[in-house]
Structure 1
Amino acid sequence: MNAALSLLARGLAGIDVEVQALAGTRAVLVGKRLLLPEGTGEERLRRAMVAHAVAHLRHSTPARLARALKPMGIAVASAIEDARVERLLCRDFPGLHGWFAESLAPVPDPLDLGFAALVARMDRMLMLPAWQDDNHWVNKARRLFDETVARTGLEDCDAFRAVASILANDLGQMRVRFEPRDYAVPAPYRDDNSYLWDFGEADTPPDEAIALQQSGALGEGCSHPSAGGMDEMEFGRYTYPEWDRKLERLRPDWCTVIEKLPAWQGLTTLREQATADSKRIPPLALPRSRHLERAHRLRRQWEGDDIDLNAAIEVLIDRRLRLQPDPRLFMRPGKGPRPSSLLVLLDLSASANDAGPHTVSLLDIEKRAALLLAASNTQGIDRLAIHGFSSNTRAEVYYYRLLDFGQPLDAASRATIGAVRGRYSTRMGAALRHATSHLRGEPAGQRAILLVTDGAPSDIDVHDPGYLIEDARQAVAEAREAGVHTACIAVDGAADAYVRRIFGWRNHGIADDVRTLPQRLARMSARLGMLRPG
């Protein structure tokens, strides 16, 4: 049998290829020697193994340095390289396509979003032009692969390495977990890809199990390595509906909001720093909204809806004394400060960690602006809360209560706000619904949510860019029905279209220069305070 397979390999490769038996489950290509597992009894599978190895011998560059790649990147690049060399070989030997196609891994469960399942679905998409898959990442792999073929052809392996880098980065953003020790190439006829790589000088050994973190989740030099919340205090879990724009209805109990406090590590240091910072942060000058208040009566008016009895008595006295009486005999309601409750809702997604001016992150500027606003509320007339949110699919919408209504802005509160970190995504609608629920319990008066964000709503389990925008718009409408005004400050020059769609043309502002965020936040909060209670 091995002799016949050696002849097959020689006929396809044009060179001598030694085929030997190997005690194992996976084919291994070492130089010009192919080691096939002894337990492979099916002739079609052994033929496909030989043909695939020949594809590497003819079209792959062996032993490329793996030092610049993480294990997941190596696995994705290997799968893309497998597809590339098989297409090149099938171009010369079209009949081999059937050998490969019938030996692919079985179709995975559509609900399985693990790394191996996604790679198996990608293998099938790249092998079978007519095959359809509803997964966004898998379809992106086919699109990028086909675009690269059209642009550079199949011979430029570096162009396909770039495709693999994009796809591996996407998997990291999707937080797909990869365990090298548990992973095997899905297609049983393909070798273990050790032929392609030189791991001798790799910074990260290929067999080292890693837990991928989202790119940029904690930022440079961050002293808070906890990503999951073992060290975060959880207050409770709440379910909310979500608007499906295609079905045009709410999906009940679709999202889970998890209330938390930031991780406690470093809070002592942050509290000391916050105490010092509070002495340096000047308060913003906030105009006070005023409204007619019948409890506050203005006396001796030229006109009004009530008689000022004291003024009337003085008129009678002046008449008896033959003096000119004061004609201001009326009372009317005066204008007093409008009671209001404002909830500042910060977008704590990973993109907020991006550097702004002078290398300060957008999140740091957001937190400073919120602290300035809170420090300006010294008269205690307005009730102010500062909350934040991020999301990791609909099952995990994290909601942080950084400063609650009625809570003093002391060093501990400042430290809590300073401890929060940006990560994950921006499922805005669920966060707005939960913020609205907090405002329902506030005293009657002006109640408002002021959202600060740096991008459109998004999450890794949603691939329709308009889906979460429409859900956020629906959440704003629900808040309006509950008597809660909503507004937004977007630190995004391209935000006009989506913030106008969500919040309306009057209820948003765009901070093209992030350094103007504190002033814009103050002006918008003052404008919200002047609106009539909902």
Structure 2
Amino acid sequence: MKQQVIPLLDEDSRHWQRLSLLATALARRTLEMLPLQRATSTASPLIARAPATRAVLAALPNPSKHNALPARRLLLPATTSDTQSFALQRAMLVHAAAHLRHSPAAQDSTRLKPMGLAIVSAIEDARVDLLICRDHPGVQPWLHSALAARPDDLDLTFSAFMARLDRILLLPNSQDGNHWVNKARELFEHAAQEHGLEDYDAFRALASLLANDLGQMRVRMDPQHYAVPSPYRDDNSYLWQHPESETTEESLVLPENSTAPPPPASEKQPNIEPQPDMELARYHYPEWDRHSQRLKADWCTLIDRLPAWQGVMTEAPANKPSPRQRLTLLRLPQVRQLDRRNRLRRQWEGDDLDLNAAVEVLVDRRLGLRPDPRLFMRPGKGPKPASLLILLDVSESVNDPAADGSRLLDMEKQAALLLVESRVQGVDRLAIHAFSSNTRAEVNYYRLLDFGQRWNPVAAAMLHALPGRYSTRMGAALRHASRLLQSEPEGQRTLLLITDGAPSDIDVHDSRYLIEDARQAVQQARLMDVRLTCLAVDGKADAWVQHIFGWRNFSIAEQSGQLPQRLTQMSARLASGR
């Protein structure tokens, strides 16, 4: 009988054979595995060039068979002989199998921004990892040991948030002091209990909510250099279909010494560095602590600035009032109010005696003449000098488009132009300022038009270039504006705030804290004989605006398109002293 010779496999072949058997058992289907030298970012816009240790799970069309399922390939980085490398490959394989069993493939990514795409992918990674750990509890230590290390608490970069999110969702006993990370765990656990881990749509909605919160916190993401923090997770090219690039096998496997082709020369955009805002001065203002019921001295730093305008000396046509809007420009009658400095003499009645008329009565009596009985004085009606400061809220939320496609930021700029071109009678001096905040250490205060300054092309260019960014720390801005108004000539001094929401900032998590501080700022301004009013472009503003400004000192516009009309009405009321 002739003996059959079975060829012996080398160590590397046996290693890949063990991984292939494990992949088939976990994925419950045949999974082709190939060594990966280096992965490029052509499959995903989130990664410019993935590191050599990043796995790639690809679902590629199989043209050989009609209506056949896509061929699934897992490209793992080249192995080494050490145990740590094998443990990482094993975790990569488990995660890929979890995607194959529980994740929908090749979803449309056109409606997601890069940050939203990364957070949706991270939530999906955690969901499928928990599902495969539930089905195969033995793989749980493999994934836990391959998670990214916990970042420092002071690290507030996007990658750090994603690493902390991975840990708190996958490790049952993990703790974190950040409110966003803890909110993510609460929402994730609630979705798991309410809908179950199998409901992909519930977790997709959760991820969109978290992405919006992170955007409100102004966390910046660099899409060209971001990589998934946990090294065992793939580049998520299996989850998404990006229309701008097609995935091919050649784009996934490259020789070690190859480089990606440079972009065409026509696609290169000039790198224009934005000019920084001009800093004029710094001021320190207190802030009211509603818990201790006291003012914290020098708590906020306000930076007086001029916005950068890039040397453009003309107004933007998009911000100029249209001919139809010019018909609604303010044409107010000159308001005449009782003014004790304007005394009416020789009156039949009054609250004071006219001394000159009394002397003439005595002289007439000595001469035997009939005296004039009009011996009194009373205050007359005369024009009362008025100073009006318009304070614009230019936080990040004013960039959000409304239902009609218009942005509140553009409507605020148009309203400012309406006020400037209206030449409101009864308002002798007009100023237009704006503010936004980046924590208590940076409350930015922009001077667009100062009292006594003429409207000129430079002011128009600064208004056009003014961006909407950061948050709304209202109290410090109101205190600074009230201080500026206090130096105005004696008369009617009014501050009109235009905002789209309640005061907030990323370093304050108590929703009532800054509302109470703004209320204290309004009360302090009234003691300085400054009247503060508010025009809120927020249908839900009743909950906070009346508490801050009082029941007669506010108006609410449901939509940004109503802003010019409401501003016209409110300016007329302010000019008349009502």
Q: TM-score, normalised by structure 2?
A: 0.75
1:9: which partner in 2? 23
Distance 1:382 1:199, change over 3 A: closer
Q: Secondary structure at the match of 1:254?
A: strand
Alpha-carbon distance, 1:432 to partner = 0.9
Distance 1:384 1:294 in 2: 23
Q: Structure 1 46/505 Cα, relative in aligned 2: closer, same or farther at 3 Å?
A: same
Q: How many residues align?
A: 512
Within 5 A, what are the aligned runs for 1:179-218?
179-199=222-242, 201-202=244-245
Deviation at 1:110, TM superposition (A): 1.3
The 1:384–1:73 alpha-carbon spacing in structure 2 relative to 1, beyond 3 Å, is closer
Q: 2:525 aligns with which of 444, 457, 479?
A: 479
- In structure 2, the CA distance between the partners of 1:466 and 1:49, relative to structure 1 (3 Å rule), is same
What SS does the aligned partner of 1:398 have?
strand
Q: 1:504 aligns with which of 547, 550, 555?
A: 550
Letter of the 2:306 counterpart:
K
What is the alpha-carbon distance in structure 2 between the residues aligned to residue 28 and residue 272 of structure 1? Answer: 46
Name 2:287's counterpart in structure 1: 242
Query: Conserved in 2, the CA contact under 8 Å of 1:46 and 1:189?
Result: yes
SS in 2 for 1:290: strand
Who is 2:570 aligned against?
Answer: 521
| 1:219-262 superposed Cα distances (whole Å, 9 cap, x missing partner) | xxxxxx99996165443343434334345442634344342236
The 1:41/1:27 distance shift into structure 2, 3 A limit, reads farther
Q: Equivalent residues in 2 for 1:46-65 (5 A)? A: 46-65=89-108
Structure 1 94/486 Cα, relative in aligned 2: closer, same or farther at 3 Å?
same
CA displacement 1:369-393 (0-9 Å, x = unmatched): 4555555656676332121223344
Q: Report the Cα distance in structure 2 between the residues aligned to 1:270 and 1:14, rounded to whole angstroms.
A: 61
Amino acid at match of 1:288: V
Q: Aligned with 2:515: secondary structure?
A: helix
Task: Tell me how far 1:115 sits from its aligned partner.
Answer: 1.2
Q: Distance in 1 between matches of 2:470 and 2:102?
A: 40
Deviation per residue, 1:95-143 (Å, 9 max, x gap): 3223322332221111211111111111112113443333333233334
CA distance in 1, matches of 2:445, 2:333: 28
- Partner residue in 2 for 1:38: 79
How far off its partner does 1:328 sit?
Answer: 1.4
Alignment check: 8 A CA contact 1:68 1:203 kept: no
Larger deviation: 269-278 or 187-196?
269-278
Distance in 1, matches of 2:273 and 2:356, equals: 68
- Tell me the alpha carbon deviations over residues 121-172 of structure 1, each in whole angstroms, 9 at most, x when there is no partner: 1111211344333333323333443343344433343443343344334434
Is the Cα–Cα contact under 8 Å of residues 320 and 414 in structure 2 kept in the other structure? no
Matched, 1:387 2:433: yes
Amino acid at match of 1:120: A
CA-CA distance at 1:310 after TM superposition: 4.5
Is 2:533–2:554's contact at 8 Å kept on the other side of the alignment? yes
Structure 2 partner of 1:447: 493
**Structure 2 counterpart of 1:329:** 375
Query: Is 1:128 matched with 2:171?
Result: yes
Q: How does 1:153-302 map to 2 (within 5 A)?
A: 153-199=196-242, 201-202=244-245, 230=275, 232-249=277-294, 250=296, 252-261=298-307, 263-264=309-310, 266-270=312-316, 282-285=329-332, 288=335, 290-294=337-341, 296-302=343-349
**Which one of 46, 53, 63 corresponds to residue 25 of structure 1?**
53
Equivalent residues in 2 for 1:427-466 (5 A)?
427-466=473-512
Aligned to 2:4: none
Establish whether residue 90 from structure 1 lines up as the match of residue 133 from structure 2.
yes
2:42 aligned partner:
none
8 Å Cα contact 1:479/1:486 also seen in 2: yes
Q: 1:417 to 1:115 in 2, by over 3 A?
A: closer
Q: 1:303 to 1:429 in 2, by over 3 A?
A: closer
The percent of aligned pairs where both chains have the same amino acid is: 52
Report the alpha carbon displacement of residue 5 of structure 1 after superposing the two structures with TM: 3.6
- Aligned partner of 2:165: which letter? M
**Aligned partners of 1:344 and 1:451 also within 8 Å:** yes
Q: Find the aligned partners of 2:364 and 2:98 in 1 and give their Cα distance.
A: 114
The equivalent of 1:222 in structure 2 is none
Q: Which amino acid aligns with 1:25?
A: T
Distance in 2 between residues matched to 1:515 and 1:457, nearest whole Å: 22
Q: Secondary structure at the match of 2:314?
A: helix
Instruction: Say yes or no: does 1:313 pair with 2:341.
Output: no
CA displacement, residues 382-412 of structure 1 (integer Å, 9 cap, x when unaligned): 3321212233444443322222112235676
One-letter amino acid of the structure 2 residue matched with residue 183 of structure 1: Y
- Structure 2 residue 161 is matched with structure 1 residue 112: no
Q: For residues 227 and 445 of structure 1, do their structure 2 counterparts lie closer, same or farther at Cα, with a shift above 3 Å needed?
A: farther
Deviations, residues 185-221 of structure 1 (Å, cap 9, x unaligned): 212222333333444744999999xxxxxxxxxxxxx
* Structure 1, 19-28 or 504-513: larger mean CA deviation: 19-28
TM-score, L = length of structure 1: 0.80
Alpha carbons 2:115, 2:221 under 8 Å: kept: yes
Shift in Å at residue 423 of structure 1? 4.1
Q: Does 1:493 align with 2:539?
A: yes
Counterpart residue identity of residue 131, structure 1: S
Q: Deviations over 1:459-501 (max 9, x none)?
A: 3444432232122123223323444332212232321220122
Which has the larger displacement, 231-240 or 493-502? 231-240
Q: Which residue of 2 aligns with 1:218?
A: none
Q: Distance in 2 between matches of 1:422 and 1:226?
A: 22
Q: Distance in 1 between matches of 2:550 and 2:271?
A: 38
Conserved? CA contact 1:339–1:381, under 8 Å = yes
Which residue is 1:408 aligned to? 454
Relative to structure 2, which stretch is displaced further, 359-368 or 448-457? 359-368
Q: Matches of 2:382 and 2:327 in 1, distance apart?
A: 31
Aligned to 2:63: none
AA aligned to 1:390 is S
How large is the Cα RMSD of the aligned pairs? 4.0
Q: Classify 1:381/1:351 alpha carbon distance in 2 versus 1 (closer, same or farther; 3 Å).
A: closer
Distance 1:167 1:287, change over 3 A: same
* Closer/same/farther in 2, CA of residues 397 and 94 from structure 1, 3 Å limit: same
Of structures 1 and 2, the larger Rg is shown by 2
Moved more, 199-208 or 189-198: 199-208
Contiguous gaps of at least 5 residues in structure 2? 1-14, 38-51, 59-71, 253-259, 262-269
Q: Deviations over 1:245-302 (max 9, x none)?
A: 3454426343443422362565414499969979866433256363442464523443
Moved more, 199-208 or 373-382: 199-208
Once the two structures are TM-superposed, the CA of residue 421 in structure 1 deviates from its matched residue by: 4.8
Which residue identity is paired with 1:522? S
CA distance in 2, matches of 1:341, 1:226: 43
With over 3 angstroms needed to count, the CA separation of the structure-2 counterparts of 1:374 and 1:273, relative to structure 1, is closer
